[in-house]
Amino acid sequence: MPRFHGQSNHAPVDIVNQLQKQYVDYLSSLFHEGVLDDQFTQLQKLQDESNPDFTVEVATLFFVDSDKLINNMAAALERSPVDFKQVDADVHQLKGSSSSIGAMRVKNLCITFRSFCETQSYEGCLICLQQVKNECAVLKDKLQNLFRMEQQIVGAGGSVPLMD
């Protein structure tokens, strides 16, 4: 059952409820699909009056970080000979970031990616890199939707429901 926190406002309750229901459904689907995991909820819990945009900030940080890392990896894989250790280090960073933010699919891909780095399989790394890129793009897209919905709710005077 979703819990509510924050202040309530004066907009019509139906609209707020509807928006909230939409938000909850969307977020649930993200969990269900495995895009996000429990860690994301933890991050959401940290958001409070003193830190109202915590989640957004962290997500932004993640995307900047991941873009940089992906570019590094692509560059490293184009060089020859390929420095697998460097790629591995980058993947490790990405894995850490994604697990901190709760991006489960990205994290799992990173685990697979790392094993390819260990076995120094060039084709495997390339495939994984492409996958990671795609997945990050998907995640970015979905999180942007999510944050937009949050803003709508707050704009309508409601409060963002937290998942259990």
Residues that bind another protein (CB under 8 A): 38-39, 42-43, 45-46, 48, 50-51, 54, 57-58, 61-62, 65, 89, 92-93, 96-101, 112, 115-116, 119, 121, 124, 127-128, 131
Name every residue whose Cβ is closer than 8 Å to that of residue 12 and which is 6 or more positions away in sequence: none
Nearer to another protein, 17 or 120 (CB): 120
Nearer to another protein, 50 or 80 (CB): 50
Q: With beta carbons less than 8 A apart as the criterion, state whether 62 and 97 touch.
A: yes
In the structure encoding, which two tokens stand for residue 8, read together?
């309530």
Nearer to another protein, 45 or 148 (CB): 45
Min separation Cβ 42 and another protein, Å = 5
Buried b (16+ CB within 10 A) or exposed e, 123-153: eebbebbeebbebbeebbebbeebeebbebb
Min separation Cβ 3 and another protein, Å = 14
Min separation Cβ 121 and another protein, Å = 7
Name every residue whose Cβ is closer than 8 Å to that of residue 115 and which is 6 or more positions away in sequence: none
Nearer to another protein, 61 or 75 (CB): 61
Cα–Cα distance for residue pair 15/21, rounded to 1 Å: 10
Min separation Cβ 2 and another protein, Å = 18
